Amino acid sequence: MEKRINVTKVFLPPLAEYNEYLEIIWRNQWLTNRGELVLKLEEKLKKYLNVNNILVTNNGTIPIQIALKNVAKGGEVITTPFSFVATTSAIVWESCTPVFVDIDPDHLTIDENRIEEAITEKTTAILATHVFGNPCNVKIIEKVAKKYQIKVIYDAAHCFGVEYDNKSVFEYGDISTCSFHSTKLFHTGEGGAIFCKDSELMKELNYSHNFGYTETNDISGVGINAKISELQAAMGLSVLHYIDYIIAERKKIVDFYNKSLDFNKIKSVKIRENTKWNYSYYPVIFNSEKILLKVQQKLAEQNIVPRRYFYPSLNTINYIKCNKMPVSEAISEKILCLPLYVGLEMKDLEKIVNLINRYSE
């Protein structure tokens, strides 16, 4: 197969290490319903991430839906147009109404200063994305939410390991969710998690993720199946063993891009102050979509395939009716995420940087 450089490449642990976990599964004869490996993964993640509560799930989308079901309850949900489509589709899927608020052009997170004007009597929650692992302005958002007594959910799909103000970013808001999809920084093949400081609410979320069943096998309410299997937990445990290495390798690539790209021609995204970032994505913003398309073409000729994260702006998708979001729409058209993964070679990085510097004007 011809070598192709994509925006990301899955990290696979040594097969022998995965096999050791499979042997535990075979010994236990237990594949799902919160088995030994799922519990072990949750324990390890709790320590690694330094969070109070975690529930590991089968992907990163259903946790958003579970969060909305529990706290947004069919109301209007203030949200960002600049995210992966799952942020918006989860709102619509849960029969809530998405109300978009444009983004801050530097950080690309929801513009915290415009949230208040979008609140109505029907608003029940804010669902904002810490896009590319860059935290939203959580302090201002918390203030607004308190004032209007609405809940805050963060789609923190990109935030594995991110800290803000010396605290896991998952600890902000009422509920945070993460994705452990194989394209993400930490993965379980498919998987995800819910974080919630309030142990009572966490209990409800836990019931929801298992058909509504409580500890005593009563049914507390409408539930769904968001359980993760032992096989996925085995992958997670094997990958987690390498997480510091994964982050360190990605940092080297980010440092190389930072020092080699010509920022007179392109713009980078500003990481919010007081953030310990995780090097999850490397987005660059060109001066126009025309330039982006030219660069994309030149890279494609060398079998280098970055991704247009995130395009299009979510307020423009076909099942949404919404006003224009000028900042998000403009940025969506000219932003590209560059290849970033463990094992990306220096000679390929140099090729990428040279092509971008040459064609981005």
Ligand X SMILES: *Cc1c(COP(=O)(O)O)cnc(C)c1O
Binding site for ligand X (CB under 6 A): 59-61, 83-84, 86-87, 129, 155, 157-158, 179, 181, 192
Q: In the structure encoding, which two tokens stand for residue 361, read together?
A: 């004007």
Measured from the CB of residue 87, what is the shortest distance to ligand X in angstroms? Answer: 5
Among 151, 184, 227, 334, the one annotated catalytic: 184
Find the residue with minimal CB distance to ligand X.
60
Single-letter amino acid code for the residue at 188: T
Can you tell me the distance from the alpha carbon of 128 to that of 156, in angstroms, rounded to the nearest whole number?
Answer: 8
H or E, element range at 125: strand 123-129
Is 347 one of the annotated active-site residues of the chain? no
Distance of closest approach, residue 310 Cβ to ligand X, in angstroms: 8
Minimum distance, C-beta of residue 68 to ligand X, in the bound complex (Å)? 13
- Coil, helix or strand for 100? strand
Residue 64 C-beta: closest distance to ligand X, Å: 7
* Least distance (Å) between residue 284 CB and ligand X: 18
Q: What are phi and psi of 8, to 5 degrees?
A: -150, 165
Q: How many residues does the chain have?
A: 361
Residue 115 or 157 with smaller CB distance to ligand X: 157
Residue 311 or 360: the one with the smaller Cβ distance to ligand X is: 311
CB-wise, 63 or 223, nearer to ligand X?
A: 63
Residue 248: phi and psi, rounded to 5, are -65, -40
Residue (35 or 60) nearer to ligand X, CB: 60
Nearest Cα residue to 226 out of 34, 82, 23, 77: 34
Nearest Cα to Cα of residue 174 among 200, 149, 154, 148: 154
> Is-contact 54 42, C-beta < 8 A?
yes
CA distance 345 to 87: 33
Rounded Cα distance, 350 and 137, in Å: 35
Calculated CA dihedral for residues 333, 338, 341, 343, nearest 10 degrees? 150
Nearest CB to ligand X, comparing residues 87 and 328: 87
Q: 3-class SS at 187? A: coil
> Which residues, in sequence order, are bridge partners of residue 123?
76
Least distance (Å) from ligand X to the CB of residue 84?
A: 4
Active site residues: 184
